[in-house]
Each structure stands twice: as structure tokens, then as C-alpha cells.
Chain A
Amino acid sequence: MSLNELMIMRHELVLVAAVLALLIIEIGMPEERKQKINVFAAIIAATVTIIGFLPADTGMLFGGMYSTDPLRMLMKNILNIGVFLIILQSVNWLRQDLYKDRSSEFYLLTFSSLIGVSYMISAGHFLMFYLGLELTTIPIAALASYEQFKSKSAEAGIKLILSSAFSSAILLFGISILYAANGDLYFESFQLSDSLINVLGFIFFFSGLAFKISVVPFHLWTADVYEGSPTNVTSYLSVISKGSSVFILTIVLFTLFRVIQPLWEDVLYATAILTMTIGNLFAIRQQNLKRFLAFSSIAQAGFIMLGIINGTSLGMTTVIYFVVIYVFSNLAAFGVLQTVGHASGKLTMDDYNGLYKTNPQLSLVMMLALFSLAGIPPLAGFFGKFFLFTAVAEKGYYTLLLIAVVNTVISLYYYLLVVKAMFINANENPIASFKSDYSMRISLVICVAGILITGFYSPVFEYIKYLCETF
């Protein structure tokens, strides 16, 4: 194997190099200059993202353990951008005295988790898939309890690690059944035999992944973990973890489990309805905005299922397109939560009353993000949802479509509750006016640009469509 061939694995190699570089910088840097590590990390994240976009060869490595193609590259690039934005949003938060001796660990764990994401998406073997999944989750479980002196954060960490261990066990059981029935672990040569046992294996496999995407009825950990974790870790969980699991689920369903498509359509049909409805109904009742966004992200996962049900390249396109928009919208919303929480320590809906009077720009960003999540034209979220609905309609599932539309209306109501709080509700002592730091502003500007551009600039959709058709 030559070095040229190894460069197919560029995304992962660059990230491993980044982790090693950060480790060396952390060890070698004198104590009083440790603050600089934040800048380094942001630069490294930007470099990783840019290198990901450079053209490269695709193919398989290590006898089929690792495989990549333009579509998987795109998925990794989307998630790289997400991580870059999250790191920009974290910089100021990590500058606090409280975290100054542990800021490098934050970046190390984030990058390690991103390596897991990349390997998972590029997996060509069940073992690589499983390792990628674990590498995605375990560092984030440590980050969830990053503020270990807060009991909520420690609780979030332990809940995440236990529920993910549980889901991994179920997933592994599913994989072992599939292996026993079909005698192969390589994705390339894997062929489902016609037997009832595959249904059982698939159900276990799906349940394990559904845990990570927090699809109802596997969503019970979500709200508590999202609430207890630091806000930027929550955004990582809701955007990167969820996005990567959705990607790999789509790939696996469309390739390995293509034979049993009628079965997984039924499974997705039921879970999509449950996920949208329960996510939405619980979101209405939330006062804490992190819990609110947790349930909103559960509902969004339900919408994503709609695209997968379609089962054609159109369905795949809509799913990826929707995730791109979801990354930008959700990160914008979490960014505002993060900066407001950092400046004032306030997180509930009532605290946001009258935010527009004191912090108009942040309120506008939040409004755009929520409108995009709700799917109001002309923002990108509208097109994302619209295409998902098209995918369902094409399949002829009109009942499902009707339920999805009703759910969109419900979600519109609770997203507007927050907007109303910021713009209309009066408040005698609103959150004081403050200036957010530069990196946060850059990330919010990128998010807003993303929300607008992915909606209006149709080549984005065309490009994803082209890649999905050639997949």
C-alpha cells in the first residue's frame, strides 16, 4: 500500500494529526500562555474543514474495511463544518478561569469524537462501524460531565454513558445475529439471506442506532442529557452525533438492508409518526430552553425519517439536504443560547422576555434559526421540509404526510412562543445588553448565511442530488 492510497483516508488522517498536534502543544506550552490553545484549536478546525473540501481520490482500503466515495466525503464535510462552528462558539466559554486548565482536553475530545464520526461514515465492515460509533460517543460522554462540579452535568455524563452502553449492547446483539445468519461482516459482500432471523437482527440493529438519533421510543435519555450538559456539548450531541447516525443509517438501509425494504419502511413509518408527535407535544410544555430544543430535535429526527422512507435517491437527497439545513439552524439557535447563558446565566423562556429591546441582533439570529427549524418560507428550513414532504408524497403515503403537516403546524406554535417572548412580551428587567465575542459572532454569521444560502442557492440541492444518484 502506497502513501498515495493512504491519502484516500485524508479526513481521518488530518484529524489524527490534529489530535497529536494539540497533545504536543498542550504539553509543550508554558502555563501562562495556555490561553493561546483556543486560537490554535480554532485554526486547526478550520484547516481540517478546508482540507476536507480539496478534491481527492475515492475507493476502498484495507481489504474493504474502509470505503469512501464523493457522497461520504460530502457527509464528512458537512459535519466538519458543524464541528468548526461549535468550536468557534466554545472559545469564549473555555476562556473562563474555571476551565483554563482543561480547555485543551475539550478540543482533544471533540476531535477524537469527530474521528469516530468519519470512520463510522466510511465503515466498510461491521467492526469499523461499531468502533466508529463508540469513538463518537465515549468522548462526548466525558464532555457531558465537563462541568463536573455541577451535579446536573455529572448526571448528564453518567446518563449518556449508561444509555449508550445499553444501546451499543443491543446493536452488537443485532450484528451478531446478522453475522450468524449470513456469515459475513464486510459491507461490500454482505448479502441478506431470506430468513426470519434477519428481521430480528435488523430490529436490534435499528434499535441501537435509534438510541443515538433519539427516535421515540428510544428518546428517554435525550432531554436530561441535553439539559445537564454544557450548551456547546448539547449542540454537538444534537447536531453532529445525530447527523452522523442519520447518515450511516441511511447508507446502511439503502445498501445492506435494501432487500428488506418493505420491513424497514413499516418500522420507519411507525417511529416517524411517534417521534414527530411526541417530540412536538413535549416541546410545548418546556420552560427550559435547552430541554425545549431537545424535544424540538427529537421532532426533527421524526421529520428526517420521512425522507428515508422514500427509499430512492430522491429520499436520500432530501435527508442530506435537510441535515445540512438542520446543522446551520440548530447551531444558530444553540449559539444564541450559549452566548446568552454565558453572559447572564439565564436559560428559561421567561428570561428571554424582552430580549429584542436589549440585544436586537441576537434576537434576530434566534428568530431566523427558529423560523428555519419551523419551516417558514423563504428560509432554508422551508425548502428542507418541503422536499421531505415531496419525498413522502411521491411514495403515496398521504396519511403520513397529513400527520407530518399537522406536526409542522404544532411546531410552528411553540417556536413562535420563543419569538413572542423575545419580541413582544414585556419585561421589567430583561437580560442586560452585552456584546458577544468575535468568534461567536463569526459562527453566528456563518450559520445565518447558511440558513439563507442553502435555501436560495439551488446548486446546493442539485449537487447533493447528483451525488446521491451516482451513489
Chain B
Amino acid sequence: MATSAIIFYTIAGVMIIFSLLAVTSRRILRAAVYLLFALAGTAALYFMIDYQFLAAVQLIVYAGGIVVLIIFSILLTTHINEKLEKPAPGKVFITAVLTLGGFVLTVYTLSQHNFIVSDLPQTEATVSHIGEKLLGYGEGGYVLPFEVISILLLAAMIGAIVIAKRKASDS
């Protein structure tokens, strides 16, 4: 097995383990920390395919920003020692069976497919190249989604204000 394959499977294994821990942990703060490792693993995968820019963004935004935000909101809203309720065994069983069934089905179908390796020349993903694509308006340009995302963010901010605003009589 090539070295890159070994590295890949190690990273993938770590990601799977921490993702599982993140969703099964009953302490919410620990779940957030496990999530951090799963996200860092994704960044490592990006490094592996030589996409440094995306890897850096993944580290800064997700591992750095989002997880810290999640931890802050957990600390501000819940007690640190609080544990989630234990789910009923019946529910756990049904969920496990369904999840396993779905997993097997998905993996089986994916493994049956003969993926075609792209014969397009590898483009260099430099920052200037990404910038040109992001703001390009021809075929393969992403300026429209880029602008729509800004509307989405504006709407999300207004939505957050609506949820957080006090009652008129309180102020």
C-alpha cells in the first residue's frame, strides 16, 4: 500500500471515530470538541489533495471560528455538567437497525459503481485563480451564487435580530 493510502485511511478513520463520538456523546461540550477533530480531519484531506487554500479556509472558518462559536454558546446557555437524557433502548435499537441498513445500502451501491477518472488537466488552485472563478460571470463563473449568499447572510442576520430582540414593553 502506498504511503498516501495509509495516510488517507488514517485520517478517514480518525474522522469517522470522532464524528461518531460527536453524535453519541451525552455531554454537549465534549461533542463540540469531538466535532473540532472531525473538521480538522477534513482540512487534512484537503491538504492531501494539494488544495491548500480550501484547507486553510476549513481550518480558519470551521475549526477556528465555528467550533469556538459553538463552545461559547454552549457555555453561555447550559450548565457544564449537564448530561443529555439517555434515549430509550427501543429507540436506540430501531435507529441502529435503520442506520445500519441505510449505510450498507449506500456503501454497496457506491462500491458497485465504476467511477471514471477525470481526464481533464489538473488546474492549479491558486488564490488568484479561485478569485477569478468566484467572480466570473461566464460559464463556470460563480458570481451569482456569491451574491445570493450575501442576501442569505443578510436575511440570516435579520432573522437573528428578530429572534433575539426583546419585547417592546421590556425596553
Question: Residues of A with Cβ closer than 8 Å to B?
Answer: 1, 16, 19, 61-66, 97-102, 105-106, 108-109, 112-113, 115-116, 119, 125, 127-128, 131-132, 134-135, 138-139, 141-143, 145-146, 148-149, 157, 177, 180-181, 183, 195-197, 199-200
Q: How far is the CA of A119 from the CA of B145 in the complex (A)?
A: 10
Q: How far is the CA of A183 from the CA of B115 in the complex (A)?
A: 10
Q: How far is the CA of A196 from the CA of B140 in the complex (A)?
A: 28
Q: List chain B residues, Cβ under 8 A from A183.
A: 116, 118
Across the interface, do B155 and A109 meet the contact criterion of CB distance under 8 Å?
A: yes
List B130-154 residues whose CB lies under 8 Å from chain A.
136-145, 148-149, 151-152, 154
**Contact of B110 with A by CB under 8 A:** yes
Evaluate whether A180 and B115 lie within 8 angstroms (CB atoms) in the complex, with A16-B151, A63-B141 already known: yes
Across the interface, do B163 and A135 meet the contact criterion of CB distance under 8 Å?
A: no
**Contact of B167 with A by CB under 8 A:** yes
Q: Binding site of A, secondary structure by majority: helix, strand, loop or mixed? A: helix
Evaluate whether A142 and B167 lie within 8 angstroms (CB atoms) in the complex, with A62-B137, A63-B139 already known: no
Evaluate whether A109 and B158 lie within 8 angstroms (CB atoms) in the complex, with A101-B165, A131-B149, A132-B148 already known: yes
* Contact pick for A97, options B110, B116, B144, B168, CB 8 Å: B168
* Contact pick for B165, options A62, A102, A177, A196, CB 8 Å: A102
Q: How far is the CA of A304 from the CA of B109 in the complex (A)?
A: 31
The number of inter-chain residue pairs (CB within 8 angstroms) is: 114
| Residue among A62, A132, A195 having the largest count of chain B Cβ atoms under 10 Å | A62
Evaluate whether A197 and B144 lie within 8 angstroms (CB atoms) in the complex, with A100-B168, A112-B154, A139-B155 already known: no
B interface bracket (residues with beta carbon within 8 Å of A): 35 or more
Q: How far is the CA of A157 from the CA of B113 in the complex (A)?
A: 40
Question: Residues of B with Cβ closer than 8 Å to A?
Answer: 105-106, 109-110, 112-116, 118, 136-145, 148-149, 151-152, 154-156, 158-163, 165, 167-169
Give 27 CB contacts A-B under 8 Å.
Answer: A62-B144, A63-B136, A63-B141, A65-B141, A66-B144, A97-B168, A101-B165, A101-B168, A108-B155, A108-B158, A109-B162, A113-B155, A127-B145, A131-B145, A135-B148, A135-B151, A135-B155, A138-B155, A139-B158, A141-B159, A142-B158, A143-B159, A145-B163, A177-B110, A181-B115, A195-B113, A197-B112
Q: How far is the CA of A355 from the CA of B137 in the complex (A)?
A: 58
Apart from A143-B162, A195-B113, 8 more pairs, CB < 8 Å: A63-B141, A65-B145, A98-B169, A105-B165, A119-B148, A135-B148, A139-B156, A146-B162
Distance of A304 from chain B, by nearest CB (Å):
27
Q: How far is the CA of A200 from the CA of B154 in the complex (A)?
A: 35
Across the interface, do A200 and B144 meet the contact criterion of CB distance under 8 Å?
A: no
Q: List chain A residues, Cβ under 8 A from B163.
A: 142, 145, 148, 157
Evaluate whether A62 and B149 lie within 8 angstroms (CB atoms) in the complex, with A139-B159, A183-B118 already known: no
Evaluate whether A105 and B162 lie within 8 angstroms (CB atoms) in the complex, with A196-B112, A196-B113, A200-B106 already known: yes
